[in-house]
Chain A
Amino acid sequence: MVRAEGVHKSFGLAHVLKGIDLEVNPREVFCLIGPSGSGKSTFLRCINHLEKISAGRLYVDGSLVGYRQSGDKLYELKEREVAAQRRDIGMVFQRFNLFPHMTALENVTEAPIQVKGETKAVARERARQLLDRVGLSDKVDQYPAQLSGGQQQRVAIARALAMEPKLMLFDEPTSALDPELVGEVLDVMRDLAEDGMTMIVVTHEMGFAREVGDSLVFMDDGVVVESGHPREVLANPQHDRTKSFLSKVL
């Protein structure tokens, strides 16, 4: 589903990603862990072209992200084409980023109506189902400011699902939440994983990674240090860097 080959990313002089190679299979829950500043969020943002990669190749579902290859030349995609690529990739942000001037329902219906051209009635009907699925059928007409952090994040997940994505990206979805609200968001994500959604999750929730994850990558300083099955990596880390990180967070 996602293939990265030697992906580099620099912001000016800061070299954030230094050659990432990895592969995410369909229906897989792929967890990215690592200390802050290790580049895991940047990598996630590269996958839907919120950041442009500086070198290497990044494929989603077989096609290059943000570029078109013709012969040995790369052409930048037009804005409209980039937008079309992003339709199939849902993203959930650390800080929710719900649209504050729209109700929960309007947040969910916005993209299907504006991007896919769905009718209001159809979009609303599906949005109700999605909000019901994340356990918020009674909050449909509330504005984000009237919802708790956990509820907002669940609306954000429903909003991303409304575009029927093939792949979901989660950028530390529970890091901005009160500890007691983390569970409700993780439950929704677990549900999603059981339904067979391909998910890439940047997280600090080692419990979630262990229970739900199919593979896990530990990143540090812009490189993949260690990868494998979550249970093995978490129980028996091979590298010193992984060991010292896990000893602090577990």
Chain B
Amino acid sequence: MTDTVDKAPAPVPPEQIKAIPVRHYGRWVAGAVVIGILVLIGIAFSNAKINYNIIPDYLTDDLILDGVWHTLYISVLSMLLGLVLGVILAVMRMSSNPVTSTVAWLYIWFFRGTPVLVQLLLWYNIALVFPILNLGFYKDEMNQVMTPFLAALLGLGLNEAAYMSEIVRAGIQSVDLGQTEASHALGMTQGKTLRRVVLPQAMRVIVPPSGNEFINMLKTSSLAYAVQFNELIKRAQDVSSTSLAVVEMYFVASIWYLILTSVFSVGQYYLERRYARGSSRDLPPTPLQRLRKNLRLFGSFSRPEVPR
């Protein structure tokens, strides 16, 4: 039977197959259930006692904008502190000096092992144990020194350093040992090797999780409300205490968090792209390049260009 089929010549290209597709009833049911649940949630929220109309107005409220600004800069500063300290800790941890590596290990163990909220509160209340700050050249009452800003910066930044140091260490260790040898063989010192050869390559591994850490930081900074720092959540609560629109203000805050994290996700994409140089033959196109290419294809009905 198959013989006749095999021997039959096929001068015309076979016509397109028109078969009855397999019915995926399960998918239909699952899709319907999910849509049903979404609709129910939507109905619930539209009937809820939420005054949606005031949300757009409060998005640009002065107090809220002030909170956004505080959230933004405490996140950036804490992240910077975490990054700098993290690199130092990573180098300490990998050094052959047993004292520095043990101290780095203990630091990471403590700051990663206790809740950030506790660390924030400890810094804020440090005046209870050290009423006077005496640095020799500088002396003042601790209450004057430990402002909400400083407590937030130390609490968030020192905690972040513990995480960043592990990320940096993983990045440095991911670089092939041959790179260090080649650099040494050219007469480059340890420091130059680290700066010019190892770190640029480690960045490819360090950047993605660091972006993650930063986006986490934007949100974790909300805990600083506990030390009276005027970040977004604190400000949202301040507003709601007068406007009595409690949930609406949390919505406003959430929208701002979403905007901030979205903006920084885009930044992260470009940063990753920059450090991908040399790791693959071609860099992935930026969203803008992708858009332009699609527009070009759309504009001309000729065949798409073969990408180089």
Contact = CB atoms under 8 A, between A and B. Distances in A.
Interface in A74-115: 79-80, 83-84, 86-87, 89-91, 93, 95, 97-103, 110-111, 114-115
Contacts of A84: 187
A10 interface: no
Contacts of B181: 50, 93, 97
23 contacts: A84-B187, A86-B184, A86-B185, A89-B185, A91-B182, A91-B185, A97-B176, A97-B181, A97-B182, A99-B183, A100-B278, A101-B277, A102-B278, A110-B186, A111-B186, A114-B192, A115-B188, A143-B281, A145-B279, A145-B281, A146-B281, A160-B185, A163-B187
Interface in B257-308: 275, 277-281
B182 A93 contact: yes
Contacts, number: 75
Nearest to B190: A79
Interface of B: 176, 178-179, 181-190, 192, 196-197, 200-201, 275, 277-281
A101 B187 contact: no
B208 to A, nearest CB: 16
Give the bracket for the number of chain A residues in contact with chain B: 20 to 34
A110 B184 contact: no
A101 B207 CA distance: 15
B192 A143 contact: no
Given A95-B178, A143-B277, 19 more contacts: A48-B185, A80-B189, A86-B187, A89-B185, A93-B178, A97-B176, A97-B179, A97-B182, A99-B179, A100-B278, A100-B279, A101-B275, A101-B279, A102-B278, A111-B188, A143-B278, A145-B278, A160-B185, A160-B186
A100 B202 CA distance: 12
A87 B192 CA distance: 14
B182 A83 contact: no
A95 B179 CA distance: 10
A114 B189 CA distance: 10
Nearest to B197: A99
Nearest to A110: B196
B200 A101 contact: yes
Among B197, B200, B281, residue most surrounded by chain A Cβ atoms (within 10 Å): B197
B280 to A, nearest CB: 6
A218 B192 CA distance: 37
A222 interface: no
Contacts of A173: none
A80 to B, nearest CB: 6
A78 B6 CA distance: 79
7 closest Cβ pairs, A-B complex: A87-B187, A97-B182, A111-B186, A91-B185, A97-B178, A143-B278, A100-B278
A150 interface: no
A144 interface: yes
B200 A83 contact: no
A159 interface: yes
Contact of A115 (B178, B187, B281): B187
Interface string A127-148: 0000000000000000111100
Interface in A152-194: 156, 159-160, 163
Contacts of A91: 182, 185
Contacts of A111: 186-188
A163 B278 contact: no
Contacts of B197: 99
Contacts of B189: 79-80, 83
Contacts of B277: 101, 143
A48 B179 CA distance: 16
Contacts of A143: 277-278, 281
A143 B184 CA distance: 21
Contact of A144 (B190, B196, B200, B278): B278
Contacts of A163: 186-187
B221 to A, nearest CB: 33
